[in-house]
Amino acid sequence: MAAPIVSLWAFCVLHVALATVYFQEEFLDGERWRNRWVHSTNDSQFGHFRLSSGKFYGHKEKDKGLQTTQNGRFYAISARFKPFSNKGKTLVIQYTVKHEQKMDCGGGYIKIFPEDVDQKKLNGKSQYYIMFGPDICGFDIKKVHVILHFKNQYHENKKSIRCKVDGFTHLYTLILRPDLTYEVKIDMQVIESGNIEYDWNLTSLKKMEKSSTESKDWDQEKDDKSQDWEKHFLDASASKPSDWNSELDGDWQAPMLQKPPYQDGLKPEGIDKDVWLHQKLKNTNYLTEYDLSEFENIGAIGLELWQVRSGTIFDNFLITDDEEYAETFGRATWGETKDPEREMDAIQAKEEVKKAREEDEEELLVGRFGGQENHFNRFHRKDEL
C-alpha cells in the first residue's frame, strides 16, 4: 500500500505565529486545482495546462505541477488569494520550474498581480506588480527576470542574472526587504543581491521626482508669500529711533505690519530660496510615494508567457513574509525530490542507451542473415533452372 501524501499545511499552521503565508500551492489534491486556478479566455488560441509530474520525477505525486502542453502557444492562468500589503514587511516569492523539454525558447517566470486583475481576460497587457523567473531563447537569452512595477512603469534589474538551462527541477526564490535590500536564489543558493534603489536604476527617477516636488513646493510658497505680503502695511505709529544715523544706517523706514497677524516668518518677496529649506523639507511625500519594494492589494499569482516547445512544469508556489519558512518549505518540497529525480533520469538514460544498442545490434543481425538468405535463394533458383 502506498504511503499517504502529507501536505505542508499542518506545518503552516504550526508556523503561523512566526510567518504569514499568503499563498501556497503544491497540487496534492488531484484535479481540484481547477477550482483555484483560472484559465484566461482572452484568446481562444491560448495553450492549456495539465497536472503532471513529467517523464521523470523524484515522487510521482509530490512532483505534479502545472505543465504546458502545446507547442508555439501563449499561456495565461492565475489563482487568487486574500489581498494584502507588504508595507514594512519582507516579501518572499518562491516556486519550482522544470524545463523537461530542454527549453529552446520560452518563459518560465511568474507574475504577481493586484487584486483587481481580471483573471478571465488575463493577457500580456494585464498590469502586474512583480515578474520573476527564468527566460530562455537561443544562445543569447538565458536570464532570470526581476521586474518591478514602479510609478506606472516596469523596471528590470540592471544586473545580468543567469538561469538554469537543464531539464531538471529548480527552486527560484526572490526576497524583497523593507530596507530595500533584495536577494535572488536558485536552489537555495544566493546568486544575486544588492539594493533595489541602485540595481533597478531608480535613484535618478527619485531625484527627479524629489527636485520636481521641491520646486512645486517653493513656487507655491512663493505665490502664497506674495499674496500675503500684499496685506502688509506701514506702522504709522512708529517713529525713527533717537540713535538712528542716516549716514551709517541709511534711510529709515517704518516697520511693516500685517493683517491678519504675521505668521510663519514671512519675508519680503525676493528672499533667497535657501531660507525656505526647512519649509521644503517638511514635504516628504516623494518618499512615501516611492517605496520601491512595497505594493498595496497584492491579490493574485499567475503564469502569462510564451513557449515554442511545451513541457515546462510549475510547482510549489509560495508567497510569505518569512525567509526561514520559505527555506523550510523549499527543503520539504524541492529538497526532498531533487536527488531522486536525477536518479530516475539517469536510470532512464541508461535504459535508453541499452535499448538503442539492442536495436542497432538487431538491425545488424537482420542485415547480415538477411543477406545470406538472399544469397542462398539466388543460387537455389539457379540450380532449379
The CA distance from 347 to 354, in Å, is: 11
Q: Which residue has the higher pLDDT, 147 or 219?
A: 147
Rounded to an integer, the average pLDDT of 212-221 is 54
Q: Provide, rounded to the nearest whole percent, the portion of the chain with pLDDT above 90.
A: 58
Rounded to an integer, the average pLDDT of 220-224 is 56
pLDDT at 102: 86
pLDDT in tens, 93-136: 999 999 999 898 999 999 999 999 999 999 999 999 999 999 99
pLDDT at 233: 52
pLDDT at 287: 35
Of 136-145, 211-220, 344-353, 368-377, the range with the lowest mean pLDDT is: 211-220
Angle made by CA atoms 154, 158, 159, in degrees to the nearest 5: 135
In the predicted structure, residue 204 carries a pLDDT above the cut 60: no
111 is in an annotated binding site: yes
135 is in an annotated binding site: yes
Cα–Cα nearest to 110, from 320, 329, 300: 300
- Please report the DSSP string for 48-77 in residue order: -EEEE--SS-SSTTTT-EEEE-STTEEEEE
pLDDT at 360: 76
Average per-residue pLDDT in the chain? Answer: 81
- First-to-last C-alpha distance (Å) of the chain: 70
Quote the longest CA-to-CA distance of the chain: 156
Confidence band for 140, pLDDT divided at 50, 70 and 90: confident
pLDDT at 283: 39
272 is in an annotated binding site: no
pLDDT in tens, 34-75: 999 999 999 999 999 999 999 999 999 999 999 999 999 999
- Please report the DSSP string for 79-108 in residue order: EEEEEE--TTS-EEEEEEEEETT--SEEE-
